[in-house]
Amino acid sequence: MSVSSTSSIETELAKVSFRLKGGLFPLTLLELHYYDSRQLQRDLHFKVSEAPGFFQQTPVIIGFESFSGDFRDVQLAELQQILRDHGMIAVALKGASTSLEAQAKECGLAIMAAKSRTPKNKNSGTEVNVEPTSVVADQPAVQSVPNVANSKVISTPVRSGQQVYAPGGDLIVLAAVSAGAEILADGNIHVYAPLRGRALAGVQGNESAQVFCHSLEAELISIAGHFKLVEDLKNEHWKQSVRISLQEQALCIAPLVNAGR
């Protein structure tokens, strides 16, 4: 969408080697409390042994917002290597000191502003934008991780104005999702009640994600960024039990067989 130089001529379009797309991706935040390379290696080793296979080329952001040690102790290149040894790829720093930001440039890490601070560094802005694309590149590796354990089950109604997100797994909602509410999941979305709000499955780009609901009354359904609004949804299987999947880049709505009503 931001490729403004492309003309409408088909041949011109074919020449463009890429397309820029915006996207929101949840990332793991590794919050450093203090920096001691030996201690960190030991702690990481223990953490990884708890869930072997969880960290495989996993992009992480190194957070310094709760950092209480001395910033001068931090050796980013060393830290990067330690993380890599444990299956994590550092992509950015968050809330780091200015001295660290200089190191980050050398190591090729993006810089993200801390929550309380306004982004002051104009140069870092471009780097931040680069970061989500690198996540997309790592996507297949992330998908290979079994995400069953990360399912989120919500048994209370999701009201207008509320947002529920299941990172890294499926979202299962046992009560109604009101108009004006938004539910998101990296995996599938199941709603065992009327779905009247917005449902976004596969928000990390998982095109095999699906949406299941007891009664389709949604304002918006999206799978991996491909969406349909209420006007289009109303045409087929409205207020019926349905399963929505992505087929050939388009949302396909099919009735749930033997689904009661």
Partner 1 sequence: MAKIIVVTSGKGGVGKTTSSAAISSGLAMRGKKTAVIDFDIGLRNLDLIMNCERRVVYDFVNVINGEATLKQALIKDKRCPNLFILPASQTRDKDALTVEGVERILNELAADGFEYIICDSPAGIEHGAFMALYFADAAIVVANPEVSSVRDSDRILGILQSKSRAAELGKTVEEMLLLTRYNPERVEKGEMLGVEDVQEILATKLLGVIPESETVLKASNQGTPVIHDDQSPAGQAYSDAVSRLLGEEVEHRFITVQQKGMFSRLFRRSA
Output 105 or 234, the one with its CB closest to partner 1: 234
- Cross-strand bridge partners of residue 221: 199, 228
Nearest to 206 by CA among 150, 140, 130: 140
Output 48 or 179, the one with its CB closest to partner 1: 179
Instruction: Show contacts with partner 1 in window 12-51 (CB under 8 A).
Output: none
Report the nearest approach of partner 1 to the CB of residue 156 (Å): 7
Report the nearest approach of partner 1 to the CB of residue 179 (Å): 7
Instruction: Show contacts with partner 1 in window 218-247 (CB under 8 A).
Output: none
Report the nearest approach of partner 1 to the CB of residue 162 (Å): 4
- Cross-strand bridge partners of residue 59: 89
Report the nearest approach of partner 1 to the CB of residue 257 (Å): 25
Alpha-carbon distance of 167 to 5, in angstroms, equals 36
Q: Give the single-character DSSP code of 158.
A: B
Alpha-carbon distance of 175 to 164, in angstroms, equals 13
SS3 for 82?
helix
Report the nearest approach of partner 1 to the CB of residue 160 (Å): 4
Output 170 or 182, the one with its CB closest to partner 1: 182
Binding mask 145-184 for partner 1 (x = CB under 8 A): -----------xxxxxxx------------xx-xxxx---
Output 171 or 181, the one with its CB closest to partner 1: 181
Report the nearest approach of partner 1 to the CB of residue 241 (Å): 16
- Residues in contact with partner 1, counted by CB under 8 A, come to a total of 15
Output 132 or 180, the one with its CB closest to partner 1: 180
Alpha-carbon distance of 113 to 111, in angstroms, equals 7
- CA angle at 257 for the pair 209 and 226, rounded to the nearest 5°: 25
CA distances from 185 to 5, 33, 83, 142, 226 (A): 34, 30, 27, 15, 14
Is beta strand 28-31 parallel, antiparallel or unpaired with respect to 58-63? parallel
Output 145 or 175, the one with its CB closest to partner 1: 175
Alpha-carbon distance of 133 to 110, in angstroms, equals 12
Q: Which residues bind partner 1 (CB under 8 A)?
A: 156-162, 175-176, 178-181, 194, 196
